[in-house]
Each structure stands twice: as C-alpha cells, then as structure tokens.
Structure 1
C-alpha cells in the first residue's frame, strides 16, 4: 500500500483522493470526446496542470494516458470495419517519421509563429465544416490512386510532425484531411485518423519515457479512465453516426481555436 501511495506522489507530496477522482473523471470525459471527434487534450491536459503537475510532466503523463485510450478506440473502429488498411499501410511510416522529427525539433522552432498559422487553419476547418452541409455526411470513397496516396503521405508526415512538437487539433486536421482527400464520411475518417494519431502518440510517448517525463503512478489511473471513456465514446459514435460526430467535430475544432487564441493573447 505504501508503495502504491509513493507512486502517486509528486515531489514526495501525496495526492489526495479528491484530486485522483477529479483526474479520473476529466480523463474519462476527454477520451470519450477524443474518440468521437478529436480534441480530448483540451480537457485532459489542463486537468493535469490544474492539479499542480509541472507542464512538461503533464505532457508526458497525458501522452501516456491518451495513448491507452487511442489504442482502444482504434481497435474498436477497426473491429467495426471503419479502418482502411490498404491506405494506412502507406501512411503509417510517414506519420512515425514526422512525429519523431517533431519531438526532436520542438526546441528549435519559434512556436508562436506555428501557433498563429495553426490557429487560422483550425478556424478555417471548423467554419468550413459548419457551413458545408454535405461535408462528411456520405462515404464517397472511390478507391486509391497515385495522387491520393501521395497526398495522404504528405498529410501523415505533416500532422505526425505537428503532433510530435505541438499537438492541439491534430485529430481534427486528420479527420478533415481524410474527408477532403478520400471522400470518407465522418465515421470512417475518424477511424482512419485514430490509427495515424496512435502512431504519432506512441512515437512521442517513447521519447517522453526515455527522458523521464512521465508520472506512471498517476498515468496508470488516468489511462484506465481513458480506456473506459474511449470505449464508450467510440461505441456511441458508431451507433449514432455522422449526426453525432459532425457537431462534436465542429465544436471541438472551434474550442481548440479559442483555446489557442486565448493562449496567444493571455
């Protein structure tokens, strides 16, 4: 029991059961939302920081927890036939390479410039999706050709890189990219995006772990919450379809933009 309590300590300060319960609920909700439309980090990461966890440790621990949830969500989408393996076999290596390069270059790039660019891009994604009535409603995937595969590789590399060193909005960009390039509906786009998101998450997670930036005691508890949340969210998305996914996708895209806008000015 003492060993378990020590695992939950921050700088030898024990965390109360109230804080543990708060993190559990926050991460469960984050994973449910993320499995449907992305953007769960808007809920989970601030929750870690609010509980007094240093930001770099919060990033690593959140990545550990979210990877668990994304794994469950990816498997559920795959089991229900919402993952296109003949496409992803081309894209996964580029997502991996991009994420690795993103983590290694995080300290060499002025993130303020990147934040401004991403802010406008994600605002565009959210507003465009809001006013485009037919976007992602029907699955119009017609197969693969050289052009679509190359566009997908570029998408996977760029968003893998982005997820490796910054991250907010990655899921939204991936979903939007799969819809625009391949004609998927929101459900199939979410399923395929989860696989690429999982690839970049695992890559970043390994590097965070190597550099000792994870509190595994807390991470195990929050990972359990995210596994439960991801399972619930994915099943709900598969049951309700695009009528549920599209409004949540638009809401989370705009929330990410507002969060980034707030961060830039305050």
Structure 2
C-alpha cells in the first residue's frame, strides 16, 4: 500500500486526539478506527491495527494512573485473566461471525449507560467501599469477561462499559477510569496477539499511531487527574452520547 504523507499526518493528528480523550473516559476508537478506514485499510485490518495503537496508548494511560495510585492492582488483578481470555476468544470469533450482529445490543447498552449516569447525578463522586457477595462477585467477573469478548470482537464503547461496571462496584470516576485502563490494556493486548497470529496488523500505521498516542495518553491522563470526578462525569456522558450517535448513524444509514 502506498503511504501518502498528508494522509499519514492527518491520521497521526487524529490518533493524538483519540488517545487524549480515550485516556480520560474512553471512546477514542470513535476517532481512530474511522481514521484508519479513511486511509484505505479494510475493516478487519483497521480493527487489528487500531488494537496495536490502542495497546500502546492504554498501556501508557494505565502507567500514569498507576503512578497516581488510581489503579487497584490487588483488587482487579484476579479479573484480568478473564478479560484476557474473553478478548482472545472475541478476536478469533470475528473471523467466523460478522460483528454487525452486536450493533443493536451495543446501542441499547450505551443508551442505558448514558441515561443512568445522567439521572444519577451523585454517582461516582466518591469511593464507596462495598462488600460483594459471592454471587455478585461472580456476576461482575462474568460481566468483565463479556466486555473483554466484546472488545476483541467489535470494540466501540468498551471503555464506557468497563467504567460503568466499576462505578456500580463503588469506585469513583477517577478510580474507575484508572482501573478501566488496566482492563482496556489487557483486552487490547489479547486481541492484538490473536490479530498478529492471523496476520491482520498494518505495522507502519499501528506503530506510528502508537508513538503519537503515548503523548496524547499522558496528557489526557494528567488532565483527568487534575480535573477530578466532576469533569470526568461530564466528559463521560458526552463521549457516551457521541458513541451512541456515531454508531446509530452507521447502523441505520449504512
């Protein structure tokens, strides 16, 4: 594939913006994935290449939140293997079944996430320690594994779903965003491994975007840590609504 310098420049600029937003509340794929398809990559290669770039981006964000004490490795460490396996299976399944079958369900779930967050105005403002029963603990693990599968299989809105479940568990927005980055990194890495095995990744675009995304991820993470939970809530609602509009447009008009 011929590389056009202007197209690559625009792609890298969009990658920076995507990683900045993604570091705060997720939703960066709303920008980076269409950008990759706009430069001529087929959908499967665009998804795979986006996983490479996002693995680098989410890894950077995770480390920034980790240094700030907003990633609870002791509590979430046992969940990571379930997300990893779920995403691995999702990435493999995408070659067997069209991801389009999940679009209606994904839209409904995003609407519910946005509506619940808007109407529950004090939600995620403070950390609320909750003792989970065995049944609830297993239910949350199942939910995280399912989101991991979804990320490997399709992807849009994954960060919003991770944050939403973490808020339900009692985390505030900053802690939810930090822990969600560890989950996103895990699911991205698993999907990337599968796509590498299947030979779907465009390395020049993926590594170029990933390099630029490091800086966007650092700035976005620091912005989130500085602005706190109130600003995080507003940006979370805005990005979730944009995800709804973008994917509704794709579903009904394409």
Contact 1:26/1:43 (8 A) holds in 2: yes
Contact 2:59 2:185 in 1 (8 A): yes
* Larger-gyration structure (1/2): 1
Gaps of 5+ in 1: 1-9
After alignment, is 100-109 or 150-159 more displaced?
Answer: 100-109
Counterpart position of 2:241:
254
Q: Deviations over 1:210-251 (max 9, x none)?
A: 122111122221111111100000000001111221111111
Would you say 1:36 and 2:24 are equivalent positions? yes
Hey, what does 2:42 align to over in structure 1?
A: 54
In the TM superposition, residue 141 of structure 1 has moved relative to its aligned partner by 2.5
* Residue of structure 1 in register with 2:59 after alignment: 71
Q: CA deviation at 1:107?
A: 4.0
What is the CA–CA distance in structure 2 between the aligned matches of 1:87 and 1:188, rounded to whole Å?
A: 12
TM-score, scaled to structure 2: 0.95
TM-superposed CA distance for 1:111, in Å, is: 3.8
Please report the TM-score for the alignment, with normalisation by the length of structure 1. 0.90
Cross-structure match for 1:3: none
Q: What CA deviation, in whole Å up to 9, does each residue of 1:153-197 have, x standing for no partner?
A: 1122110111110111111011000001x2111100011111111
State the Cα distance separating 1:45 from its structure 2 match. Answer: 0.7
Corresponding residue of 1:24: 12
Contact 1:76 1:234 in 2 (8 A): yes
- Measured in 1, the distance between the counterparts of 2:229 and 2:143 equals 23
Q: Please give the alpha-carbon distance, in whole angstroms, between the structure 2 residues aligned to 1:201 and 1:149.
A: 23
Which residue in the other structure is 2:103 paired with? 115
Deviates further, 229-238 or 251-260? 251-260
> Residue 150 of structure 2 is aligned with which of 150, 158, 162?
162
8 A Cα contact 2:92 2:194, kept in partner:
no
> Given that residues 103 and 161 in structure 1 are in contact (C-alpha distance below 8 angstroms), is that contact kept between their aligned partners in structure 2?
yes
Residue 113 (structure 1) shift: 3.8
Q: State which drifts further: 185-194 or 146-155.
A: 146-155
Work out whether residues 156 and 243 of structure 2, in 8 Å CA contact, stay in contact via their aligned partners in 1: yes
What's 1:205 paired with? 192
Match of 1:223 in 2: 210
1:16: how far off?
Answer: 2.5
The answer to whether the Cα contact below 8 Å between 2:167 and 2:176 also exists between their aligned partners in 1 is yes
* Local SS of the residue matching 1:90: coil
1:4 paired residue number: none
Q: Which residue of 1 aligns with 2:116?
A: 128
**What 5-or-longer segments of structure 2 have no aligned partner?**
none
With 30-39 and 204-213 compared, the bigger mean Cα shift is at: 204-213
Asked if the contact 1:87–1:149 (Cα under 8 Å) also holds between the matched residues in 2, the reply is no
Q: 1:219, 1:166 → 2: CA distance?
A: 18
Aligned-pair RMSD on alpha carbons? 1.5
Report if the CA contact (8 A) 1:168-1:256 is conserved: yes
CA distance in 2, matches of 1:177, 1:84: 15
Question: By how many angstroms is 1:129 displaced?
Answer: 0.8
CA distance in 1, matches of 2:116, 2:50: 30
